[in-house]
Structure 1
Amino acid sequence: MLCGNAQAQIGKRFPSERKIVKDPVTGAMLTFLTSKPHGDSKIYPTHPQWTADGKWVVFRSKLAGGEALAVNEQNGDIVQVTEGGYTGMLNLARKANKLYFIRKDVEEKRQQIVEVDLDRLFADSKAGKLQGADAYQRIAGVTPAAIDAGGDMALDADEEWVYFRVGRDEAARHMAPGAKIEPPFGPRNMGAGPAGIARMHLKTGEVRHVVSVPFQVGHIQANLWQPGEIVFCWETGGKSPQRTWTVQADGTGLRPLYPEAPYEWVTHEAVISRDEVAMAILGHRPIPGGASGVDAPGTAVEGANPGQDAAWGNAGTREKPTGLAIVNLRTRQVNIAGQTPSGSGFWHVHGSSDGRWAVGDDFSRSLYLIDRRTREMMLLTTGHKTTAADHPHPTFNADGTKIEIQSAMLSEDGRTMNIAIVPVPDAWLKRH
């Protein structure tokens, strides 16, 4: 969806909404960086959330007419960081305070790749000396109309290239002759191919095709520690025949990341370190013909939790191992870090890049922290309302000391979300 508002000016400042809230169940002190019902949502867990200096959290909101915003974690200052709209994923660089995103060009089917100089923007905004948008936003390149580019853009670890989806015709042009194209899969009628990934050089604007596959591509992400490595998924809106995939930027090395069995429901993969990808192997459905210890279909709010209907087939039960899984990109070994003893099990997952912690949410919107060394698991926070517009989507910061979530805990309508920070407990951080 295209976001933007011609009346909203880049660098505009908004009053702080920052407040500290004690979790009513766990006692954890949560820092809500936004607390009013604007309709906020965080960047997806496949991408960085904090600026390179660790001071600002970038998020999506309707506060500035749908433009992207940044909030200072310490003082709560909110600054608008895009002008003219964006579509798809927001990409924060890790080497410098820069933001990259896609927006529609004036010509149909062309897309602009835009770079934002956040340091300059924040300084001018604070000084009250804002200039026009072109002083902060640079068009790095424009995609050819013929490739019909768009979707989940990802910034490579070298920060010289970005990856994005291409249209069906362009993908088909690069498919091997006679390749079997996959039909839709599952009750949402999604997943059909072909689809493809291309890349653009941020200095020259050069565009190269990376790979075509016979299925629908979703959640393109770059390994932020290993240049030229991409992870993506077969998107069906639910269970896939083979969810997770990886490929190199030159198109070589295409393979399933985790080869899954028909009874496994794998989802929400996220690269968490140079060698590891976290993902959920769902255990959210009852075992046919027997008590499973998991929530029965229909117990949750209608439409809140996907995958409960029988049309997805016999997958996602706990008859086989399930939980927060971590797969090694080099050795291909898989480890189950943990699983909730009841309820839906883990749904969205992440991990600290130092290998110490893993984190996941479940259908109740509760958040669990796992010590990967001891296997100990604790409930960090709950009370985020099953009626919320979306799940918490936990994501660690760069040093693994805190987690960003989106939460409806403060909302009067039970749906509208805000941006919140959950600390890793001091007692756990002091462990050797």
Structure 2
Amino acid sequence: MKFNFSLAVITVIAVITILPASAQIGKRFPSEKKVIKDPVTGTELIFLTSTPGGDSKIYPTHPQWTADGEWVIFRSNRVKGEAMAVNEETGQIVQVTEGGYTGMLNIAQNSMKLYYMRNIAATAEGDWRSNRSLEVIETDLAKLFQDSEAGKMKPANKYQRVVGVTPTEIGAGGDMALDAGEEWVYFRIGKEEAAKHLDPGIEIKGDFGPRNMGAGPGGIAKMNVNTGEIQHVVSVPFQVGHIQSNTWNPGEIVFSWETGGKSPQRTWTVMTDGSGLRPLYPEADYEWVTHEAVISKDEVAMAIMGHRDVDIEEQPLEEAAKSTAVRDPENPGQETSWGPSGTRKKPTGLAIVNLRTREMIIAGQTSNGSGLWHVHGSPDGRWAVGDDFSRSLYLIDRNSREMKMLTTGHKQTAADHLHPTFKPDGTKIQIQSAMLSEDDRSMNIVIVPVPEEWLQRNYPNKI
């Protein structure tokens, strides 16, 4: 049969024309909002999404709410590869990206803007998988929400602006962070680019632990959101993990040495000009530090894990790192090759470090089980919050040190962990949960209010 080239071209064009309409920015979805009580604790749980739409929240290192406090932005498969926003009051869901995104979603806190990276579309020379260039995109959320509500959406380029494009040769990654001044975004760079800015006398670190991660060099660069200008920030001799900005203090960055588990020195901080590079919390071999999150202008919360048996074989960290072991997804971090860290022979729990004084306190810890794992805190210094391996959520009063389980039963089979994050006003916590999922994996976006009787507590001096 003779191939009809003209018909094939017309068909392809038609498909391309149809696709954006079904995945258009500003598309609205009906409310799924449900309010239920936790069957164990009685806490009111506000499910902003409640169907198996492939939802997941933004990581706790980054803001979750828009600057006006009305919308929560999250990842979803309702439209594959696109991000959504849900109105906390009405439950209305709106698509806020078109054309996809990669890495972290960055919600501005002083303007109704959203920033993220996007893989550059395929070209005749190859696609993004080979050229490794990324676009940085800015979305005008105020205009988007207004036009979506009015039912008068315009083409995507009326809401989305290309801030700039990263050069192929720097190997940019998608774990981006927006500076508090909202003039710069920070992102990872590749090993070759990082090496160009590293003193040749510095020893490059190798992989650490059973996941074969952590080898350097690594680095951070920044892009100006007004001009697209790119500048180097810092290079280090190890693999850079999460990058976050202090959203209260312009020019301050917190990042991690990523190994997939225990790191020789997990937490780091540096200023936007590359000055002030130092460990944020200098950790010992026996300390398993993880999941750091900036929670206020002067503080960073982190977990010092207490999830391993005290009888774990104690051997020097360097020797333990060479051991072989099988990863246990149900009880992570038990491999001997992580070394002697993570037991409760030393203090563990939800730690809070002051960026100015460098003092550290332990705000609280569970009495048994894995201990607190993903942690956060309210900017006013009143509360801290953490989850554990059982997917239970614990609230801590930082003044009285009282601890309360807020909710449990979010299914250990869930596709991810709770990842609690406080709303900036300190009255609510956002988590992700599989409590309602029939497949025991699919997650939803949930708001957990701080108990009213706790909110009424009045202390003469805040932390």
Q: Which category of TM-score, normalised to the shorter sequence, fits these structures?
A: over 0.9
Kept after mapping to 1: 8 A contact 2:328/2:334: no
- Alignment of 1:174 onto 2:197: yes
Residue in 2 that maps onto 1:295? none
Residue in 2 that maps onto 1:12? 27
Q: Tell me how far 1:308 sits from its aligned partner.
A: 1.8
Give CA-to-partner distance per residue, 1:262-289, whole Å, 9 cap, x none: 0100000000001100000000011117
Residue in 1 that maps onto 2:58? 43
Residue in 2 that maps onto 1:230? 253
Show structure 1 runs of 5+ residues with no match.
291-300
User: Which runs of structure 2 are paired with 1:256-275 in the superposition (5 Å)?
Assistant: 256-275=279-298
Residue in 2 that maps onto 1:241? 264
- Alignment of 1:186 onto 2:209: yes
Larger Rg: 2
- Alignment of 1:124 onto 2:147: yes
Q: Report the residue type matching 1:408 in the other structure.
A: A
Residue in 2 that maps onto 1:203? 226
152-161 vs 308-317, which moves further: 308-317
- How far, CA to CA, are the matches of 2:241 and 2:432 in structure 1? 21
- How far, CA to CA, are the matches of 1:306 and 1:63 in structure 2? 30
Kept after mapping to 1: 8 A contact 2:306/2:370: yes
Residue in 1 that maps onto 2:161? 138
Q: 1:263 to 1:246 in 2, by over 3 A?
A: same
- How far, CA to CA, are the matches of 1:68 and 1:308 in structure 2? 35
Q: Report the residue type matching 2:156 in the other structure.
A: A
- Alignment of 1:161 onto 2:184: yes
- SS of alignment partner, residue 171 of structure 1: helix
Q: Report the residue type matching 1:21 in the other structure.
A: I
User: Which runs of structure 2 are paired with 1:7-86 in the superposition (5 Å)?
Assistant: 7-86=22-101
- Alignment of 1:386 onto 2:412: yes
Q: Tell me how far 1:66 sits from its aligned partner.
A: 2.4
- How far, CA to CA, are the matches of 1:96 and 1:177 in structure 2? 42
Q: 1:366 to 1:397 in 2, by over 3 A?
A: same
- SS of alignment partner, residue 428 of structure 1: helix
- SS of alignment partner, residue 368 of structure 1: strand
Number of positions where the alignment pairs a residue of Structure 1 with one of Structure 2: 418
Show structure 2 runs of 5+ residues with no match.
1-18, 122-127, 314-326, 459-463
Q: Tell me how far 1:302 sits from its aligned partner.
A: 5.4
- How far, CA to CA, are the matches of 1:228 and 1:96 in structure 2? 18
Higher helix share: 2
Q: Report the residue type matching 2:181 in the other structure.
A: D
- SS of alignment partner, residue 418 of structure 2: coil
Give CA-to-partner distance per residue, 1:284-315, whole Å, 9 cap, x none: 0111179xxxxxxxxxx951342022221211
- SS of alignment partner, residue 175 of structure 2: strand
- SS of alignment partner, residue 72 of structure 2: strand
Give CA-to-partner distance per residue, 1:104-127, whole Å, 9 cap, x none: 124622111100001111111111
- SS of alignment partner, residue 125 of structure 1: helix
- Alignment of 1:341 onto 2:364: no
Q: Report the residue type matching 1:83 in the other structure.
A: E
- SS of alignment partner, residue 38 of structure 1: coil
Q: Give the ranges of 4+ consecutive aligned residues of structure 1 lying more than 6 Å apart after TM superposition.
A: none
Give CA-to-partner distance per residue, 1:146-178, whole Å, 9 cap, x none: 111122100000000000001111000001012
- How far, CA to CA, are the matches of 1:126 and 1:304 in structure 2? 44
Residue in 1 that maps onto 2:111? 96
- Alignment of 1:407 onto 2:433: yes
- How far, CA to CA, are the matches of 1:124 and 1:305 in structure 2? 47
- How far, CA to CA, are the matches of 1:311 and 1:21 in structure 2? 43
- How far, CA to CA, are the matches of 1:326 and 1:178 in structure 2? 34
- How far, CA to CA, are the matches of 2:436 and 2:291 in structure 1? 26
Kept after mapping to 1: 8 A contact 2:205/2:237: yes
- How far, CA to CA, are the matches of 2:408 and 2:82 in structure 1? 29
Give CA-to-partner distance per residue, 1:389-420, whole Å, 9 cap, x none: 11100000011000000000001111111000
TM-score (structure 1 length as normaliser): 0.95
TM-score (structure 2 length as normaliser): 0.89
- How far, CA to CA, are the matches of 2:39 and 2:336 in structure 1? 35
- How far, CA to CA, are the matches of 2:52 and 2:330 in structure 1? 20
- How far, CA to CA, are the matches of 1:204 and 1:302 in structure 2? 47
Kept after mapping to 1: 8 A contact 2:170/2:192: yes
